Amino acid sequence: MSEIMNEIKYKQIGIIHSPFKEPKGTPIQPTAAKGIDGTVEVFQEYTEGLKDLDGFSHIVLVYHFHLFKESLLKVKPFMDDQTHGVFSTRAPNRPNPIGISVVQLVKIEGNILRVQDLDIVDGTPLLDIKPYVPEFDVRDIKKKGWLEKNVSKLSTSKDDGRFIK
């Protein structure tokens, strides 16, 4: 039997800076944000945790969707006109508004990470950073669910503002 928890708290460890000042118009995945530069400002008290991160070409940013409208269990995602369960999408208005993006790590300057392929709105709170390792993260995928017929739309799909407050 699982134990029910009322609240889980996370500490913001930094802030993500990008050219996107609002969700509308932002690419919806890092692969659709090729060449978009940004920075990740890690708060000074966490700088020591960046040791050896420069040995990785890509990193996983874990962040808080701070501009989401509301938590919904059914959503109409950007690349489809049908409603789907939120857990079969990457929509931001989730019960726990946590996002992940794999970005290219270009350079580390003190507590500032210079990154590319950034699909995140400026000012987004950073929760964690993890190294991206293909041997850990890449799988031989057999099914893509409802996205199978829509994944080709990724390069032209942008946030249209439907999920913001």
Burial bucket for residue 154 (CB in 10 Å: 0-12, 13-18, 19+): middle
Report the C-alpha gap between 61 and 30 in whole angstroms: 11
User: What six digits make up the tokens of 129?
Assistant: 């950073």
Does pLDDT of 141 surpass 60?
Answer: yes
Comparing 94 with 150, which gets the higher pLDDT? 94
The mean of the pLDDT values for the chain is 87
Residues 6+ apart with CB under 8 A from 20: 26, 120, 121, 122
What percent of the chain is predicted at pLDDT more than 90? 54
Report the C-alpha gap between 56 and 12 in whole angstroms: 23
Looking at residue 64, what is its pLDDT? 96
Domains of the chain (ranges plus CATH)?
Answer: 14-134 (2.40.30.70)
pLDDT-derived band at 15, boundaries 50, 70, 90: very high
Terminus-to-terminus CA distance in the chain, angstroms? 36
User: What six digits make up the tokens of 98?
Assistant: 């946590």
What percent of the chain is predicted at pLDDT more than 70? 84
Looking at residue 165, what is its pLDDT? 60
Q: Contact, 109 vs 115, CB < 8 A? A: no
Report the C-alpha gap between 115 and 18 in whole angstroms: 10
pLDDT-derived band at 114, boundaries 50, 70, 90: very high
Does pLDDT of 132 surpass 60?
Answer: yes
- DSSP assignment of 69-97 equals ----SEE--TT-SS-EEGGGS--S--SS-
Looking at residue 79, what is its pLDDT? 73
Burial bucket for residue 55 (CB in 10 Å: 0-12, 13-18, 19+): exposed
Q: Which of 41-50, 127-136, 149-158 has the lowest mean pLDDT?
A: 149-158
Burial per residue of 4-39, b for 16 or more beta-carbon CB atoms within 10 angstroms, e otherwise: eeeeeeeeebbbbbbebeebeebbbbbebbeebebb
How much is the pTM? 0.84
Segment holding 135, helix H or strand E? helix 134-137
